[in-house]
Amino acid sequence: MKKLITVFTPTYNRAHLLPRLYKSLVEQTSMDFLWLIVDDGSSDETEDLVNSWIKENLIEIKYFYKKNGGMHTGHNLAYQNINTELNICIDSDDFMPQNAIELIKSVWESIPDKKDLAGIIGLDAFIDGSIVGSKIPNDLLKGSLIDLYRKHKVSGDKKVILCTEIVRQYPLYPEFDGERLVPLSVLYTMIGADYDFIYSNEVFCIVDYQADGSSGTIFRQYKQSPRGFAYAKIQDKKITNNFWIQLKNSMQIVSFAIFAKDISLINKGPMVYYNYLMVPLGVLYNLFIRLKIKQSR
């Protein structure tokens, strides 16, 4: 019988953390899922570990090994190989509450008309049980991820469950030579411009942010992957109607163009004149990022 949900996990040298996630999946109250692991070129014991779990045959596991390319490339490979109706990314340093799959299934199957729905947005929680950021206002039933943050002032990471059929309508994350990151949120932003998500205050993921994780080194990432970040800001400019956010995006695009040594980035996307207007502030912002990187050494 075909599963409803794919839980996919991009991982790189996290063999010491994966057993916790595996244990949480084995203990799920609903088994209507499979686990797809994308190994982004690990040099530790990840492959041997996963093969031992496949032999245990407690849950269905698909394993893909690829050359190291960064988190977004792992998502690309996952999306190309997911065949279930829904999918959810659970990072290698995170895990799922025991009833998470059951809750996702319950929320999704309770919706009589899923037309124009892209999936579900739920909550992340810390290991101590506290919610990451704020909950979703109870009077909000559906909308986009970006509306939660900008319009309704919800804070903190949220867990997105995507309808696979909808994901396939959008381009994969671009892969730029020499860069290792494109913000994953850009896909949710593009989808949210065309489709609604069902909001839920159920916890679908327990997070355990790592010191070496992508959430902790943002300024250095700006410098190392400027084209990826510029791409995200250009997509955001196509969607937002907020004047001040447009100016902020333009300022950041200028800064990323300087890091990329590619001034042509300033001419990409809508409302290019904002980019030129923000050149002075973009230069200052670039200097600010360099200062923050220097201070963090």
Cβ(186)–Cβ(231) below 8 Å: yes
Pull the structure tokens for residue 148.
Answer: 């939660």
Q: Which residues contact 52 (CB under 8 A, 6 or more apart)?
A: none
Please tell me the predicted confidence (pLDDT) of residue 296: 84
- The residue written with tokens 């909550």 in the block is 123
Mean pLDDT of 22-26: 99
Entry pTM: 0.93
- In this structure, the answer to whether residues 124 and 192 fall within a common structural domain is yes
Please tell me the predicted confidence (pLDDT) of residue 212: 57
Please tell me the predicted confidence (pLDDT) of residue 215: 46
Question: Could you write out the three-class secondary structure of 198-262?
Answer: EEEEEEEEEECCCCCCHHHCHHHHHHHCHHHHHHHHHHHHHHCCCHHHHHHHHHHHHHHHHHHCC
- In this structure, the answer to whether residues 171 and 54 fall within a common structural domain is yes
- In this structure, the answer to whether residues 66 and 169 fall within a common structural domain is yes
pLDDT over 90 (residue 209): no
Q: What percentage of residues in the chain have a pLDDT greater than 70? A: 98
Cα distance between residue 270 and residue 288, in whole Å: 26
pLDDT digits (tens, 9 = 90+) for 64-82: 999 999 999 999 999 999 9
- In this structure, the answer to whether residues 283 and 164 fall within a common structural domain is no
pLDDT grade, residue 216 (50/70/90)?
very low
Cα distance between residue 161 and residue 145, in whole Å: 11
- In this structure, the answer to whether residues 203 and 221 fall within a common structural domain is no
pLDDT digits (tens, 9 = 90+) for 270-296: 999 999 999 999 999 999 999 999 998
Cα distance between residue 76 and residue 127, in whole Å: 29
pLDDT digits (tens, 9 = 90+) for 30-45: 999 999 999 999 999 9
Q: Is 64 exposed, middle or buried (0-12, 13-18, 19+ CB in 10 A)?
A: middle
Number of domains in the chain: 2
Domain end position, chosen among 181, 211, 241? 211
pLDDT grade, residue 1 (50/70/90)?
confident
pLDDT grade, residue 217 (50/70/90)?
confident
Pull the structure tokens for residue 96.
Answer: 């799922």
- In this structure, the answer to whether residues 194 and 255 fall within a common structural domain is no
**Phi/psi of residue 37, nearest 5 degrees:** -110, 125
Mean pLDDT of 246-258: 98
- In this structure, the answer to whether residues 61 and 199 fall within a common structural domain is yes
- In this structure, the answer to whether residues 239 and 181 fall within a common structural domain is no
Mean pLDDT of 239-266: 97
Q: Is 257 exposed, middle or buried (0-12, 13-18, 19+ CB in 10 A)?
A: buried
Mean pLDDT of 42-59: 98
For residue 86, the domain's CATH number is 3.90.550.10
DSSP state of 131: B
Please tell me the predicted confidence (pLDDT) of residue 211: 62
271: containing domain: 217-295
pLDDT over 90 (residue 120): yes
- In this structure, the answer to whether residues 291 and 157 fall within a common structural domain is no
- The residue written with tokens 């990451």 in the block is 132
Domain end position, chosen among 211, 231, 264? 211
| Average pLDDT of every residue of the chain | 96
pLDDT over 90 (residue 214): no
- In this structure, the answer to whether residues 227 and 202 fall within a common structural domain is no
Domain end position, chosen among 149, 183, 211? 211
- In this structure, the answer to whether residues 162 and 233 fall within a common structural domain is no
* Region at 269 (left for phi over 0; alpha for psi -120 to 50; beta for the rest): left
- In this structure, the answer to whether residues 205 and 244 fall within a common structural domain is no
pLDDT digits (tens, 9 = 90+) for 122-152: 999 999 999 999 999 999 999 999 999 999 9
Cα distance between residue 160 and residue 205, in whole Å: 10
